[in-house]
Amino acid sequence: MGMDGHGGAVFRVLLRKVFHQARIAYNGRRKLFEGRGDGRRPRGPWGLGVAMDRSEMNDDRTDEGRTDESAVPQGESLPEPDSLYALPPASSPQPRPIPPAEDPAVRTTSSMAWLVGLLAFILLTTHLVPSIIERVRYAWVRGRQRAEYESAGDALQRVRFDDFSRAFQLVSQRVGPSVVHISCDSKSRVVGPGIQLRPMPYRQADQGSGVIVDAAGFIVTNYHVVAHASKIEVRLSDGRAVPGELIGQDPPTDLAVIKVDATGLIAAEWGDSDELLVGSPVWAVGSPFGLENSITFGILSAKHRAGKIGNYYQDFLQTDAAVNPGNSGGPLVDVRGRVVGINTAIVGDAYQGVSFAVPSRVAQRIYREILERGTVTRGWLGVIPADVTAKQAQEAGMDKPEGARVVEVVSEYRGAVSPAYRAGLRNGDIIVQWGEHPVKRSSDLFHVVAATRPGSQVDVTLWRSGRKLTLPVLVEARQD
């Protein structure tokens, strides 16, 4: 609390009262000594004695050294009394005066002064000291902020922003030639412009983006961009427009591969999405709203966004880079211009700071499988998993809640016995390891099982009734 304003005025009034009471106490004690009538001078304000008069010094003398008339030789006379201090007869010494008892009023005044002094001390400690501490603390904070301000100013003077801008330009130059604009004509029964008596076929144009991943003409894009296309046109970065052919598609991951016959193509370089850390800078490239060769900047907000998006086989990267309709199928690149994701989805109908991309790890695997077999096959285990709670982990004897808990073992599906039932998995088992891959959550089990080639045998590590077990499982192909 500071000393300004109302608090300061109150403190000054109380301080004046303290000095006033102290003055009253001093004057009362002084008058007491002046009114004794014993010939003694009043004491000083702090009770210190002052010089006594001659009569007092005579009273205080001892009998030693007294002069007796019989001891004076004949013919000599005693000195005049005025030349010596008057001494009373030895036979009748005058008693010392007894000081009067202390006046009760003086004692009350002294007590009042002590109380007022105590009040002044309390006021000082509650008003003045906190104010001093507050001012010291404020000065320290202001000094630190001033030092940081000046330090930041000096550092900004040394930063070369042209290098920072140059990095953005190099990323754009690195990936820009590999990004394409895709236009698709599709027939769907929608209501066309104007008033219609009944729905009729209406030709609709879908637009999106893609990225060249092979100079032979192979392009990766989103499945929903080319899903119902009757005609695909690809516009290259140099302005050429060439027809595209659908090679394969994978709806669960929303990926597709198309091919164009063109020369002089520049393929983008794949990056590793697993090594990409949250907070890393990323760039989204594509054709939002048909605006070709647009690039936006953001950071990687999160990884492993699955299940919440609507498909357990998807394992999205989340970013705040501006992605809008038309960006679908375009690349998400890192600071080296390498493709780390395929932009796929946004929250809502337009950009709201949250967008999702298929990781390059998944996109590369789907791309290779489509090129090799024209379709994507996934492994099948035959369980319904869920995340593990803290209570379930404790009951199983685990240190922390992680893994995929088996809610139900599917015994048979479409006439085939499930691999989980055949391997002896039970309801309540908690799977924590699939071969060499740790399982932290239920979505992890979906991904590692789907990525396992059918016919492979995998050792599954799990917890059951407080014991850790390992069971071999023969993976089969999923029947969609």
Active-site hit among 127, 181, 224, 447 = 224
Based on the domain organization, do 217 and 305 belong to the same domain? no
Structural domain including 463 reads: 379-477
Q: What is the CATH number of the domain that holds 342?
A: 2.40.10.10
Q: What's the chain look like in SS3?
A: CCCCHHHHHHHHHHHHHHHHHHHHHHHHHHHHHHCCCCCCCCCCCCCCCCCCCHHHHHHCCCCCCCCCHHHCCCCCCCCCHHHCCCCCCCCCCCCCCCCCCCCHHHHHHHHHHHHHHHHHHHHHHHHHHHHHHHHHHHHHHHHHHHHHHHHHHHHHHHCCHHHHHHHHHHHHHHHHHHEEEEEEEEEEEECCCCCCCCCEEEEEEEEEEEEEEECCCEEEEEHHHHCCCCEEEEECCCCCEEEEEEEEEEHHHCEEEEEECCCCCCCCCECCCCCCCCCCEEEEEECHHHCCCEEEEEEEEEEEECCCCCCCCCCEEEECCCCCCCCCCCEEECCCCCEEEEEEEECCCCCCCCEEEEEHHHHHHHHHHHHHHCCCCCEECCEEEEECCHHHHHHHCCCCCCCEEEEEECCEECCEECHHHHHCCCCCCEEEEECCEECCCHHHHHHHHHCCCCCCEEEEEEEECCEEEEEEEECEECCC
In a domain, 404, yes or no: yes
Based on the domain organization, do 391 and 322 belong to the same domain? no
Based on the domain organization, do 448 and 331 belong to the same domain? no
Low-confidence residues of the chain: pLDDT under 50: 1-3, 36-91, 189-204
Active-site hit among 127, 172, 183, 254 = 254
Report pLDDT for 27. Answer: 63
Give the chain's domain count.
4
Based on the domain organization, do 393 and 354 belong to the same domain? no
Based on the domain organization, do 390 and 429 belong to the same domain? yes
Based on the domain organization, do 107 and 209 belong to the same domain? no
In a domain, 67, yes or no: no
Report pLDDT for 158. Answer: 72
Based on the domain organization, do 141 and 27 belong to the same domain? yes
Based on the domain organization, do 21 and 108 belong to the same domain? yes
In a domain, 248, yes or no: yes
Active-site hit among 178, 183, 209, 328 = 328
Q: Which of 357, 373, 389 is the last residue of a domain?
A: 373
Based on the domain organization, do 253 and 344 belong to the same domain? no
Our answer to whether residue 63 is catalytic in this structure is no
Report pLDDT for 414. Answer: 81
In a domain, 312, yes or no: yes
Our answer to whether residue 60 is catalytic in this structure is no
Report pLDDT for 197. Answer: 35
Report pLDDT for 54. Answer: 43
In a domain, 212, yes or no: yes
Q: Which of 349, 373, 397 is the last residue of a domain?
A: 373
Report pLDDT for 154. Answer: 75
Q: What is the CATH number of the domain that holds 395?
A: 2.30.42.10
Report pLDDT for 187. Answer: 59
Rounded distance between C-alpha atoms, residue 76 and residue 26, angstroms:
54
Based on the domain organization, do 31 and 116 belong to the same domain? yes
Report pLDDT for 62. Answer: 43
In a domain, 52, yes or no: no
In a domain, 354, yes or no: yes
In a domain, 81, yes or no: no
Based on the domain organization, do 415 and 298 belong to the same domain? no
Based on the domain organization, do 323 and 417 belong to the same domain? no
Report pLDDT for 48. Answer: 41
Our answer to whether residue 254 is catalytic in this structure is yes
